[in-house]
Amino acid sequence: MVRRWVPVLVLGGAWWWAVLRLLLEPQHAGVVEGAVAAGGWGLSLLPVHVASSGRPEKAADEAAVNRTDIPS
């Protein structure tokens, strides 16, 4: 679980840093801040169904049992 949340928190923190820097000090913000802010905003536009989801083991087992192309 830690492997999942640490990168999320780090990337989220970097995005917030870039956005706040662009809002509070636009004269000192550079290309990196703009790219990070735009990239994070662009990721938020992806539909939820684009993310992959794992199949539960039970569903995978049932799919294998219900296949009709396997000769009996």
pLDDT in tens, 1-53: 778 889 888 888 988 988 999 899 888 888 988 888 888 877 776 666 655 66
In a domain, 71, yes or no: no
| C-alpha distance from residue 64 to each of 1, 33, 37, 53, 56 (Å) | 30, 49, 44, 19, 13
Domain containing 35: what range? 1-44
Structure tokens at 50: 């684009």
Nearest by Cα to 21 from 37, 8, 10: 37
Task: Please report the sign of the dihedral spanned by the C-alpha atoms of residue 24, residue 26, residue 27, residue 32.
Answer: positive
In a domain, 50, yes or no: no
Alpha helices in 1-72 (DSSP H): 2-24, 31-44, 57-65
Higher pLDDT, 12 or 64: 12
In a domain, 37, yes or no: yes
- What's this model's pTM, rounded to 2 decimal places? 0.55
Higher pLDDT, 7 or 61: 7
Q: How many domains does the chain have?
A: 1
In a domain, 61, yes or no: no
